[in-house]
Chains A and B, each alone.
Chain A
Amino acid sequence: MSGPEVHSLSPSPITSHAFNGDRSLLAVSLNSNDVTIYSRQGKEWEVTDTLSEHDKLITSIDWAPNSNRIVTASQDRNAYVWQESQDTLTGKVVWKPTLVLLRVNRAATFVKWSPNEDKFAVATGARAIAICSYDSENNWWVSRHLKKPIRSTVLSVDWHPNNVLLAAGSADMKARVFSAYIKDVDSRPPPSVWGERLPFNTVCGEYSSPSGGWVHAVGFSPSGDVLAFASHDSSISIVYPGGPAIYTIKLNSLPYVTLAWTAEDSLVAAGHDCQPIAFSGSAGGWQLVGTLDDTSSSKSSGGTRGFGGVGSGVGRLNSAAFHTFRQADSRGSGSPTSATGSGGTDTELLTVHQNTITSIRPFSGSADRVAQVSTTGVDGRLVIWNVNNVVELTGKMGALRVQ
Chain B
Amino acid sequence: MDSFRKIDIDVFDEDVLLETELYDPDPREPSQVLDDAKAKAAAVRSSLSKGDIPGALSAVLDNAPYGPNVDDAKTLTLQTLVTILNSTKSSDVSNIVKSLSQDQQDTLMKYIYKGTAMPGWGDVSGSVLLGWHEKLTEAAGIGCIVRTMTDRRIV
A residues at B contact (CB < 8 Å) = 127, 151-152, 172-173, 208, 211-214, 232-235, 250-255, 311-314, 316-317, 397-399, 401, 403
Contact = CB atoms under 8 A, between A and B. Distances in A.
Interface string B21-39: 1111000000000000000
B138 A314 contact: yes
Interface string B90-101: 000000001001
B142 interface: yes
Nearest to B143: A234
Contacts, number: 85
A212 B22 contact: yes
Interface in B123-155: 137-144, 146-147, 150-153
Interface residues of B, number: 25
B94 to A, nearest CB: 11
A312 B141 contact: yes
Contacts of A398: 138-141
Given A233-B150, A250-B147, 15 more contacts: A211-B147, A211-B151, A212-B22, A232-B150, A233-B146, A233-B147, A234-B143, A235-B147, A251-B141, A252-B142, A252-B144, A313-B137, A398-B139, A401-B101, A403-B102
Nearest to A172: B17
A235 B147 CA distance: 9
A254 B141 CA distance: 9
A317 B137 contact: yes
Nearest to A311: B141
B6 to A, nearest CB: 23
Nearest to A210: B147
A403 B103 CA distance: 10
5 contacts: A208-B24, A233-B147, A233-B150, A234-B142, A401-B101
Label chain B's interface by main secondary structure: helix
A263 B141 CA distance: 29
Contact of B23 (A212, A214, A316): A212
Contacts of B103: 403
A250 B102 contact: yes
Contacts of A403: 102-103
A272 to B, nearest CB: 9
Contacts of A232: 146, 150
A312 B21 CA distance: 33
Nearest to B101: A401
A212 B152 contact: yes
Contacts of A316: 141-142
Given A212-B151, A232-B146, A313 B17 contact: no
B139 A399 contact: yes
Nearest to B97: A399
Contact of A313 (B24, B98, B141, B150): B141
A212 B138 contact: no
B132 to A, nearest CB: 14
A255 B147 CA distance: 9
Q: Ordered nearest first, which 6 A-B pairs have the shortest CB separation?
A: A252-B141, A234-B143, A313-B141, A211-B147, A213-B150, A211-B151
A401 B102 contact: yes
A234 B137 contact: no
Contacts of A254: 142-143, 146
A235 B143 CA distance: 8
A212 B153 contact: yes
Contacts of B17: 151-152, 172
Interface string B49-72: 000000000000000000000000
